[in-house]
Structure 1
Amino acid sequence: MDRILVTPRSLTLDPPPELQLLAEAGFELVFPPAGRQPNEAELLGLVPGCVGWLAGVEAVSPRVVEAADRLRAISRNGVGLDNLPMRELERRGIRVLKAEGANSIGVAELTIGLMLAALRRIPAADSGIKAGEWPRYRGAEIAGRTVGLVGCGAIGRHVASVTSAMGANVIAYDPFRPDFETSGPFDWRELDDVFREAAIISLHCPPPPGGQPLIDARRLSEMRPRSILVNTARAALIDEDSVRTALDEGRLAAYATDVFAEEPPRPGSFASHSGVIATSHIGGFTEESVGKATRMAIANLLDALSAERVG
């Protein structure tokens, strides 16, 4: 029986009924340890013999692709591909498919939640009350503030629509400048202008080519004093040391993020900084997003493998 490897944490921790579609199509499902990203050694032991792979954000090395002797298609339950060695996959003729837009609302809503948490200092207030204190931080409102977006794909567009409806002045950079409407003020800007003008900056883009972070010491120095940086995209977009320094010096009011270079982060690492508002890579981890992404990824994988069988 042909085998399919299933590795997204959201699917291994609590396998949804949608996976039964793969079993009904005649495939045996192979799982890594539940609820966490498999490492290279585990993938090397699991991928041989698999014809398909329902993949998450786990790092996939060229060694793993080399060991995938029968692999014909990888189907992501999201859109990011920076965890995959695309050149090696293309060389092997392995198809790579994405679940376009499946988790966009979930990620966008978390992004807005992180903005509000930073503006109103909700995590600090919650911690203080639970410690027996009564902290009353003077917060700030999103209405009337300038929200800057880097990237206006499906997620960025939804963030733009909601924050503009809340009264924010939204500016954005996207090299493709997609056509869409918002109910409030919205303008396109060049990348440097977004960082200079916005009080809240939210990242919705892939990391730059070449491995250099988008947010480094120079970029942080150009941002408005006491600005808020939100990252629900990729940890590689920021230089952690530079962001930590900006937080320590008070130049950055808060860094709110759903993504880290090491997941889960080690105790005492960057995630523990008092200026960091952290969530555990849950942007697309909603009932609705997981269901849509799973159904789309499975349909993509079945289509690809059916085409291979016919061919």
Structure 2
Amino acid sequence: MNKFKVVATTVTFGKFNDAPVERLREAGCEITTNKKGRPLTEEEIIQQSKEADALIVGTDKVTKNVINNLDDSVKIIAKHGVGFDSIDLEAAKQRKIFVTNVPGANSNEVADLAIGFLISLARNIPIGNKEVREGIWNKRPGISMKGKTIGVIGTGAIGSEVIKRTTGFDMKVLAYDLIQNPEVINLGAEYVDKEKLLKESDFITLHIPDTPETHHFIGKHELEITKENVLIINAARAGLVDRTAIDKALTDEKIRGYAIDDYEEEPTPYLEIFNHDNVIASPHIGATTIDANLTMGNGAVDCVLAIKDGKRPPEKNIRNGM
């Protein structure tokens, strides 16, 4: 009898914690992991998934083309993490393939990164670190956090955690989302429309998926109506911000700084925005902590092993209405 074959295309599955991989081995699975150190191309996913029963994916683009070219043996695409906007849910449903994720697995970690970005930009930490190492003693004035207004776009699992962290800075919180979260209202956040948030916020942080409705949520018009010297944090998806518009706003010194953790292509080529000292760019590390990696790995394995045992994945993990 052939072993149940699991193909992990994500770079970080089993990289920092062996436990999820060992669970699969102990269950009698054959496991293939990503040795390339980057997300796989569509063709690579198709080729590596031959005769697979399950895929564990990361930020790879699991498009309709990929899904339609998977072998009939594939029964589940398990996201090693939370965001599933890179997976064609409807195409998977048509092929009767479960799509799962691990809700809440990295909410705290991404929120931590967003606040880290904010403090780093507000206090000029990256450029200060660089200059000291170069023998330059330049005490650049930063801006204080206390009493400022932060605009949080998206108040789900991650956005709500960001708001919790802002309470320690005694900030005024403006929130924007299609669905109001009672938890953040109880924390003192005020729900406002998009325009009010943009016009009144000293800091803006994005925590929504990149969909046709939200693509370039921050563009030329939005940047024209923001406060002078606003800081913008994007620990969500690259497509939420128009890169050409943000580059011009930085060049024109309309905004004080920008931080980004996600890119349209990964690893990213050199981008024009990298020329600005007040841009922080990190290599998609929002979910990359040892703790979150273990949670994501075990959550994905829970779903895969349920399929192996002839069961449905836990209902809370299923994302495509199967």
Task: Give the TM-score, by structure 2 length.
Answer: 0.90
Task: Specify whether residues 41 and 270 from structure 1 end up closer, same or farther in structure 2 by C-alpha distance, changes over 3 A only.
Answer: farther
Shift of 1:10: 1.5
Partner of 1:264: 267
- Distance in 2 separating the partners of 1:236 and 1:229: 14
Partner of 1:57: 59
Would you say the 8 A contact 1:18–1:295 is kept in 2? yes
Would you say the 8 A contact 2:16–2:293 is kept in 1? no
Partner of 2:173: 170
Unpaired stretches in structure 1, ≥5 consecutive residues: none
Identify which of 6, 18, 21 aligns with 1:19. 21
Equivalent residues in 2 for 1:205-224 (5 A)? 205-209=208-212, 212-224=215-227
Output one character per residue of 1:58-93: Cα deviation in whole Å (capped at 9) or x when no partner: 112322212211111111122211111222112111
- Distance in 1 separating the partners of 2:271 and 2:100: 37
Partner of 1:204: 207
Amino acid at match of 2:39: Q
Task: Specify whether residues 222 and 208 from structure 1 end up closer, same or farther in structure 2 by C-alpha distance, changes over 3 A only.
Answer: farther
Partner of 1:297: 300
Partner of 2:150: 147
Would you say the 8 A contact 2:85–2:211 is kept in 1? no
Would you say the 8 A contact 1:5–1:53 is kept in 2? yes
Q: Does 1:45 align with 2:47?
A: yes
- Distance in 2 separating the partners of 1:271 and 1:72: 41
- Distance in 2 separating the partners of 1:300 and 1:138: 50
- Residue 190 of structure 2 aligns to a residue in which SS? strand
Partner of 1:6: 8
Partner of 2:33: 31
- Distance in 2 separating the partners of 1:35 and 1:275: 28
How many residues end up aligned between the 2 structures? 309
Partner of 1:307: 310
Output one character per residue of 1:171-216: Cα deviation in whole Å (capped at 9) or x when no partner: 1112111121588642111222211111100000012325741111
- Distance in 1 separating the partners of 2:275 and 2:90: 36
Task: Give every structure 1 segment of 4 or more consecutive aligned residues whose post-TM-superposition deviation is greater than 6 Å.
Answer: none
Identity %: 27
The alignment yields a C-alpha RMSD, in angstroms, of: 1.9
Identify which of 161, 165, 175 aligns with 1:158. 161
Partner of 2:133: 130
Amino acid at match of 1:180: E
Shift of 1:306: 2.5
Using CA pairs below 8 Å that are at least 6 residues apart, which structure has the higher relative contact order?
Answer: 2
Would you say the 8 A contact 1:76–1:96 is kept in 2? yes
Unpaired stretches in structure 2, ≥5 consecutive residues: 313-322
The farther-off stretch of 6-15 and 170-179 is 6-15
Would you say the 8 A contact 2:127–2:278 is kept in 1? no
The farther-off stretch of 64-73 and 231-240 is 64-73
Would you say the 8 A contact 1:47–1:64 is kept in 2? no
Would you say the 8 A contact 2:13–2:80 is kept in 1? no
Shift of 1:104: 0.7
- Distance in 1 separating the partners of 2:113 and 2:289: 10
Task: Specify whether residues 186 and 131 from structure 1 end up closer, same or farther in structure 2 by C-alpha distance, changes over 3 A only.
Answer: same
Amino acid at match of 1:158: E
